[in-house]
Structure 1
Amino acid sequence: MSSRKCMFVGWMGLLGLSLGCATVPGEVRLRADGTPLSEKCPEKSQEVMKYLRLFVGEAAWVQLDANQSRADTITLYDGPIESVLDEDIGTLDAPARLYGRVWTGGAQPVIRYYSAQSMKGGDIIPICAVARLGFGQLRKLPESKPGTAVLASPRAGVYIVNEFR
């Protein structure tokens, strides 16, 4: 049996354990400007990420909104988001779906990912990741209305984290 298949079998066992202890991701207290406060990455998510070699700081490119891929500008809304991983990260092969939540209250949106699913098949796995771009490139454009974030790019970096800050 290949090492990748062994890892997958072991991952399935960890996933089964983690589903019984799941909390509701994305339900966090907000600051006055509508951005979320810090949030711990659940222990089970950290265990699964370690097993899948999704180490803190690893990064890849992601299409922020699966429904607006490759557009010149995109509009994100407060609430759930489904993104598409453009590059492999750890043992998670691209393309894969990333599921999370968006908050648009501040100068730039906050995007946190709580789970992923390979588009080649498989179950949803718990993760902790954030979308970000340097040099203010994820800032909202002036035409953004309350509850939305109009962005100049449909892509961002997705980074594995052990705590949402």
Structure 2
Amino acid sequence: MIHDKLALLGCICVLGVSSGCATGGVSLRPDGTPKAQECPAEARKAMHYLQLFVGKSAWVHLDANQILAKPIILYDGPIESMLDEDIGLLEAPARLYGEVWTGGLQPVIRYYAAHPLTGGERIPICAVARLGLGQLRKRPESKPGTAILDSPRAGVDIVDEFR
């Protein structure tokens, strides 16, 4: 446990990352969903230190402001999610910061930064929110720029690029 905390602290100190997200310049498809995007080298390095390897996953509360709400409404733009369980060296309830696009049949949620609640600064990551069996699909009554979802939770998967 002490080793894990030292590794996390070391990662934060070595990287000295800013608190901004790396969402600028994302190209969009005609339906408003984002095109493929590379995971920055800085994020890949941070994820290695945090033992956040491709395929690792955990549960996340999609919107930290709507944890117990059913259904929830997501809007195009920034999102703050909350880890519901540990992933790698990130301990729940760390915050995940990213971007939501609601243009398709289901929202696309990409995470670009994590902020451990043990202190320090935001750490760059690459992760996506997912649910199988179409469970992340928007309700038909969702208005443009929004996604009404039945579940306030989803899986968060570590990725090495966004597709």
Q: TM-score range by the shorter chain?
A: over 0.9
Query: C-alpha separation between the residues in 1 aligned to 2:69 and 2:32?
Result: 27
C-alpha displacement of 1:6: 3.3
- CA shift digits 1:35-68 (9 cap, x unpaired): 0000000001000100110010100000000111
Q: In structure 2, what residue type is equivalent to 1:7?
A: A
**Structure 2: segments with no counterpart, 5+ residues:** none
- CA shift digits 1:83-112 (9 cap, x unpaired): 000000000000011000000000000000
Kindly tell me the number of residue pairs found equivalent between the two proteins: 162
Query: C-alpha separation between the residues in 2 aligned to 1:117 and 1:163?
Result: 20
Residue 46 and residue 52 in structure 1: after superposition, are their counterparts in 2 closer, same or farther (change >3 A)? same
Query: C-alpha separation between the residues in 1 aligned to 2:75 and 2:9?
Result: 37
Match of 1:8?
Answer: 8
Say whether residues 1:35 and 2:33 are aligned partners: yes
Match of 1:73?
Answer: 71
Say whether residues 1:51 and 2:88 are aligned partners: no
C-alpha displacement of 1:5: 4.0
Say whether residues 1:103 and 2:105 are aligned partners: no
Match of 1:133?
Answer: 131
Query: C-alpha separation between the residues in 1 aligned to 2:132 and 2:33?
Result: 18
CA contact (8 A) 1:66 1:83 kept: yes
Aligned-pair Cα RMSD in Å: 1.7
- After TM superposition, the score normalised by the length of structure 2 is 0.93
Q: In structure 2, what residue type is equivalent to 1:152?
A: D
Match of 2:142?
Answer: 144
Residue 107 and residue 31 in structure 1: after superposition, are their counterparts in 2 closer, same or farther (change >3 A)? same
Q: In structure 1, what residue type is equivalent to 2:107?
A: P
Q: In structure 2, what residue type is equivalent to 1:6?
A: L
C-alpha displacement of 1:3: 1.8
Out of 116, 119, 138, the residue aligned to residue 118 of structure 1 is 116
C-alpha displacement of 1:118: 1.4
Structure 1 residue runs of 4 or more that deviate by more than 3 Å after TM superposition: none
C-alpha displacement of 1:26: 4.9
